[in-house]
Amino acid sequence: MSKSKILVVEDEWIIADDIKKSLQNLGYGISAVVATGEEAIKKAEEKRPELVLMDVVLQGEISGIEAAGIIISRYDIPVIFLTAYADNEIIGQAKKTKAHGYIVKPFNERELQATIDLALYKHKMEIKLKESENRLSTILRSIGDAVISTDKEGAVIFMNPVAQALTGCKMNDVNGRHLQDVLKIKADGSSGAFEGTISEIIQEGKTVNQVKVILSTDNNGMWIELSSAPSVDDKRRINGAVIVFRDITERIRSEIELEKYRKELEHLAEERQEKYSNLFHHSSDAILIHDLEGVILDVNQKALEQFGYSRSEMLSMKIPELFLLEDLEKSKGACDAIIQNGLANFEIEFKKKYSAVFSAEVSASLLDISGNKVIQCIIRDISERKKAENELMKHREKLEELIRERTFELLEANENLKVEVSVRKQAEKKLLSYQKQLQSLTSQISLIEEHEKRRIATELHDRIGQTLALSKIKLGLLNKAVQAVEFKDIIREVLQLIEQTIKETRTLTFELSPPILYELGLSQAVQWLIDQFRDKHGITIKYEYEDGDMSFDNNTRFFLFQAVRELLINIVKHAHAGKVKIRMSRDTNKLKIIVEDNGVGFFDSSLTYNGYGLFNIRERMNHIGGHFEIKSTPGRGTRVTLVAPFQVPIKSA
């Protein structure tokens, strides 16, 4: 048996030590020993002992009684008080805390053990009682019937949600009020009769079963079916009553209508066609009336439609003629039950005129018409439901049979499939290899193209550009030396042509491989590119970027620059956008570039990579371990995202 952990609260250390030793001798564990109420509360929260031995008078601002009250209410830990005083006032204060025991000092180990074991057992039983009460409360709150519980004085102590809904009373509003203030009932036409029944239940232990009464409500009342019984304590003493009821207004109304129809039959016996009430003729279920010998006396229109007979045919038949031979015993038993009990509900199969069979639910009751006993049967066709159930069973059996038949075929097919899968995997492996080779080849072609552009740009800048600049200087000197006006005009024209050529060469150099990309970095090169597009195409471009080191090799830097340039060219050519937004941000070890426009957009599903530009960007991004994504919606523009890792150089050819 595991040791129970006990918290000792005693401000006299000698006594505390004696108690500790006694507990250890008795086999209990010590959670802690403290001297103040504040420490006791703290240790109770930290250690969660199974029991607290609490001195009533303690040091500090909190007394033992106050500390015990807090521990019991917060942590539900049983407390036994220790005190040298046994006056009524202290005992009264201790009782208010709901403590589980009280020991007057001095005490011996047997008294201590008995008190502790009793307190632990009592607390264990209290926990089980709470759990049982919670389970019972959950059941009562979830059932479909209304439930009210009273004490022995008839005061309401519990109402489930259904009872609150039917009575129109909230539990918080009527708790403690007498039952007659909540369940306002008229029984047998007289007010207050049920209150006398409640008194009999509580005083005499009387049980009431399925009493039909009228419950008064704001809407002039409803019919309820009510049962009641006494509740007892653990000593079988009556301590109250339990009332269970349900709304049967609709059922009563139907019964009233049927009763009305029965009376009409009595008064209109001579005029057969006028004796049917609206309920009888227009019921959605078939209704038959037959005498105790089985002779059919009357049927409604639904019955004629359901059985397929004419009225004259059915009125010449007996009820057994509508049953299958194998169900005659069952129908006879049902008839006997109706005669004995006044009603019966059962399922059975009926025959139609041309031997067709249908399943039905029958609700039968015994009626008295002009002193003659007759049986009224309300018949509901449940063939479709039964058919669905049977079909489901057939399909299940068929499926099981198919499974058995196909098991061997599946095993054989599985072996063939394994071979096919192996072949397919080999083909997929080859295809993946070809894709990687194509990706690598595409990247190498792009690298070669970029290197060639840089070489041409360098040639334009270093050789042709320098030559043109030198020619411009020489012509300038020549212009100063020549005196003839006609030569000066020619020289000026040549200078202008050279100047224009220098500008075009510089522009071409920047387009092929802008020096700013390698001198100032990617973010500044993109800014220059944006300025060029603004000036040339008149498009509004918003640019956001983060300064800082972007660890890329020249190849990757040039590729990202060209990718942004390609996207801007596509926007100008195809998007017809008025505004463009470019964001360049760093995220730990990668760079993210987002290019958005407010152009015409397109469906994502229609995107293809037939063009070399987007295809090249996608393949290059994959090659460097990056990510390329396009999202677009017609009429709402396009968003392109490029993510490239830092410090990952592009593999050279």
Query: For 277-287, what is each residue's pLDDT tens digit?
Result: 677 878 889 99
Distance between CA 384 and CA 282 in Å, rounded? 22
| Helix (H) or strand (E) segment spanning residue 511 | helix 485-512
Contact 498, 490 (CB under 8 A): no
Q: For 404-454, what is each residue's pLDDT tens digit?
A: 777 777 777 777 777 777 777 777 776 666 556 565 555 566 556 666 666
The answer to which of 226-230, 451-455, 517-521, 524-528 has the lowest mean pLDDT is: 451-455
Q: How many domains, in total, are found in the chain?
A: 5
Rounded mean pLDDT, 462-474: 72
Specify whether 375 is located in the same domain as 389. Answer: no
Specify whether 524 is located in the same domain as 641. Answer: yes
Question: Per-residue DSSP letters for 399-438?
Answer: HHHHHHHHHHHHHHHHHHHHHHHHHHHHHHHHHHHHHHHH
Kindly report the CATH number assigned to the domain that includes residue 295.
3.30.450.20
Q: For 562-620, what is each residue's pLDDT tens digit?
A: 889 889 888 888 888 889 999 998 887 888 999 999 988 887 766 665 555 677 788 88
Distance between CA 163 and CA 245 in Å, rounded? 8
Determine, yes or no, domain membership for 467.
Answer: yes
Rounded mean pLDDT, 336-352: 90
Identify the pLDDT of residue 650. Answer: 44
The pLDDT-based confidence of 653 (bands split at 50, 70, 90) is: very low
Contact 228, 208 (CB under 8 A): yes
Q: For 260-313, what is each residue's pLDDT tens digit?
A: 877 776 666 555 555 556 778 788 899 999 999 989 999 999 989 989 999 999
Specify whether 465 is located in the same domain as 413. Answer: yes
Rounded mean pLDDT, 36-48: 89
Specify whether 273 is located in the same domain as 320. Answer: yes
Strand order in the sheet with 79-83: 29-34, 5-9, 51-55, 79-83, 101-104
Contact 640, 607 (CB under 8 A): no
Identify the pLDDT of residue 121. Answer: 83
Closest by Cα among 556, 473, 462 to 509: 462
Kindly report the CATH number assigned to the domain that includes residue 534.
3.30.565.10
Determine, yes or no, domain membership for 263.
Answer: no
Determine, yes or no, domain membership for 147.
Answer: yes
Identify the pLDDT of residue 580. Answer: 93
Determine, yes or no, domain membership for 17.
Answer: yes
**What pairing do the DSSP bridges indicate for beta strands 190-191 and 185-187?**
antiparallel
- pLDDT score of 385 more than 60: yes
The pLDDT-based confidence of 361 (bands split at 50, 70, 90) is: very high
Residue 368, SS3 per DSSP? strand
Specify whether 105 is located in the same domain as 177. Answer: no
**Token pair of 253, please?**
């109304």
Specify whether 552 is located in the same domain as 569. Answer: yes
Q: What whole-number percentage of the chain has pLDDT above 90?
A: 11
- pLDDT score of 31 more than 80: yes
Q: What is the DSSP letter of 326?
A: G
Determine, yes or no, domain membership for 651.
Answer: no
- pLDDT score of 196 more than 50: yes
Q: Residue written as tokens 């993946």?
A: 432
Give pTM, 2 decimals. Answer: 0.32
Contact 597, 577 (CB under 8 A): yes
- pLDDT score of 1 more than 50: no
Determine, yes or no, domain membership for 257.
Answer: no
* Domain residue limits at 496: 384-513
Single out the residue in 491, 513, 535 at which a domain terminates. 513
Q: Is the peptide bond before 106 cis (omega within 30 degrees of 0)?
A: yes
Specify whether 521 is located in the same domain as 638. Answer: yes
- pLDDT score of 642 more than 70: yes
Specify whether 355 is located in the same domain as 424. Answer: no
Strand order in the sheet with 185-187: 156-159, 146-151, 238-247, 222-232, 208-215, 185-187, 190-191
What's the chain's average pLDDT? 79
Specify whether 106 is located in the same domain as 164. Answer: no
Q: What angle in degrees, to the nearest 10, is found between the helix axes of 64-75 and 37-47?
A: 20
The answer to which of 498-507, 525-534, 623-632 has the lowest mean pLDDT is: 498-507
Max Cα–Cα distance, the chain, nearest Å: 149
Specify whether 84 is located in the same domain as 97. Answer: yes
Q: For 144-189, what is each residue's pLDDT tens digit?
A: 788 888 888 888 888 888 888 888 888 888 888 888 788 777 655 4
Specify whether 12 is located in the same domain as 122. Answer: yes
Determine, yes or no, domain membership for 628.
Answer: yes
Single out the residue in 349, 364, 381 at which a domain terminates. 381
Specify whether 509 is located in the same domain as 388. Answer: yes
Single out the residue in 493, 513, 533 at which a domain terminates. 513
Determine, yes or no, domain membership for 258.
Answer: no
Distance between CA 127 and CA 516 in Å, rounded? 80
| More confident site: 56 or 378 | 378
The pLDDT-based confidence of 641 (bands split at 50, 70, 90) is: very high
